[in-house]
Amino acid sequence: MVNLGYQFSHRREYTHPDDPTTPGLNLHLQTYTYDVKYNFTLPNDYETSIGVNGQYQNNAISDATAFPIPAYHQFDIGPFVIVKKSFGKLDVSAGARYDNRSFNNQAAYVDTLNFKYPQLYTGSNTSAPGVIPQFSALSKTFSGASYSFGATYNFSNEFLLKANISRGFRAPSIAEISANGPDPGSQIYHLGNSNFKPEYSVQEDFGAFLSLPNVSASVELFNNNIGNYIYQQQVLNPDGTPAVNPSFPQYSIFTYVQSKARINGGEIGLDIHPFAWLHFENSVALTYGTNLGNGGPVADSLKYLPFIPPVHIHSVLRGTFAKGFSSFKNVYAFVGFDHYDAQDRFFAAYGTETYTPGYNLLSAGIGGNLTNAAGKKVVELFIEGTNLTNTNYQSNMSRLKYFDNPVVPPGVQRGIFNMGRNVTFKVIVPFDLSAHVKAVTGS
């Protein structure tokens, strides 16, 4: 099997109200992906897959005034092998992969004097007045192995246990090793670190799954220890105020750092379906992120990883009516409830994160197909709403929570809040453009 793909992304952000035709950000990213796989069975019914996949990326920068990442070339390749085998009620699988990422970019300079806004400098005199280095030439290669071993024991058709242990590898991203500029979308000035090492992890997973005629339940737990974990932290001035770049005084500076870390947690799911058309689905998800430091003691303000979700409880009552009502078929209706705990386990150092209060969200929706007298679908109708109680909240996972001036008046909550009540209406009209050929018979 061979899968090839191509994607072109042209990202432009206009950030100058006085010059609406001048883009603040203007990136052209071309991505070529490839996936080659061969499946076969070895003697004694060992199901085997071997293959290789990866991508090639080429990022170019056009006329703009902000340059968070450089123009670059990146090539990823990863050969792999997966083997599966069943021994009665025991299913076993194992896999291995070796990844390699090569990256390079040329030096880039910015002219800060000859234009209204900073511009990429294309001249030869890089020491001219007002010309400053934006990106240094960089060429890096990262490589590493990952593998896993897992097993499932089927006690019966209704109950099974799963366990898995794996070693992971992740090469640093372009932003993490080479960023040096503002991102208008997050109001952050990013600084990368070209000395980063790749991340490695060892993860253990365990799961128990029960499936009965009227009840389905699951419990899944995981523990992941990561070396060279990469995350962002804010940069402060000596007096404790957020540091800013003089050319972008509204942008707080964030730099990337590495540390040992542990991410663990789990999820519990319960689906009660007393009737085929009615489901009451529930889940509870919990994730902890702990900063283990680099060998020494870790201060209280540093002991939690940034941007870790709080406890999340999700419930939805859904009814599906295939036969529908009169001319409406395949009708469904649901009511959903989401509870997010307060996040008091946050990365407080350097003002990177702040406490986030908990909140509740209510959603609902209804939809179905409108059919004609012959039973043929004429139109699909959907009405769905989120945050129906118009709760005023901020998610701790949102960068926009900190999108504001570094200093705000007392009593004013900093940042942008999440979306309030939102009701959407969707209509889908099917068109049948296929050729209709009538059969002709004769004697």
Q: Around 356, how many Cα atoms within 13 Å sit in the side-chain half-sphere?
A: 31
The string of pLDDT tens digits covering residues 333-369 is: 999 999 999 999 999 998 889 999 999 999 999 999 9
Contact status, residue 367 vs residue 383, Cβ threshold 8 Å: yes
pLDDT in tens, 389-437: 999 999 999 988 888 765 678 877 788 899 999 999 999 998 876 665 5
The pair of structure tokens assigned to 397 is 């996972």
Q: What is the pLDDT of residues 19-57, one digit of tens each?
A: 999 998 899 999 999 999 999 999 999 999 999 999 999
Reference 79, options 56, 94, 97; nearest CA is 97
pLDDT of residue 443: 47
pLDDT for position 374: 81
Span between the terminal Cα atoms of the chain, in Å = 49
Among the ranges given (81-90, 116-125, 411-420, 428-437), the one the predictor scored with the smallest mean pLDDT: 428-437
CB 347 within 8 A of CB 289: no
Number of domains observed in the structure of the chain:
1
pLDDT at 166: 97
Count Cβ atoms within 10 A of the Cβ of residue 186 and give its class: 0-12 exposed, 13-18 middle, 19 or more buried: middle
Residue 440 has pLDDT above 60, yes or no: no
Residue 413 lies in a domain: yes
137: amino acid identity, one letter: A
- What is the rounded CA–CA span in Å between residue 379 and residue 370? 5
pLDDT of 241 reads 84
The range of the structural domain enclosing residue 322 comes to: 86-428
> To the nearest whole number, what is the mean pLDDT of the chain?
92
Is the pLDDT assigned to residue 222 strictly greater than 60?
Answer: yes
Using only C-alpha atoms, what is the Rg of the chain? 27
If phi > 0 it is left, if psi is from -120 to 50 it is alpha, else beta; for residue 249 that is: alpha
| Residues whose CB falls within 8 Å of the CB of residue 347, separated by 6 or more in sequence, listed in order | 231, 233, 291, 301, 302, 304, 305, 306, 307, 353
State mean pLDDT over 152-168: 97
| Spatial separation of the C-alpha atoms in residues 70 and 127, rounded to whole Å | 20
Q: Check residue 221 and give its pLDDT.
A: 98
In this model, does residue 438 exceed pLDDT 90? no
**Within-domain flag for 120:** yes
- Neighbouring residues of 328: CB distance < 8 A, sequence distance ≥ 6: 368, 369, 370, 371
Say if 391 falls within a structural domain: yes
Q: What share of the chain is helix, strand, coil (3-state, %, to 5)?
A: 5, 60, 35
31 lies in a domain?
A: no
What CATH number corresponds to the domain at position 204? 2.40.170.20
Q: Considering the domain boundaries, does residue 439 fall inside one?
A: no
Residues 98/78, Cβ–Cβ less than 8 Å: yes
Q: Which amino acid is at 135?
A: F
Look at residue 237 and tell me if it is in a domain.
Answer: yes
pTM of the model: 0.86
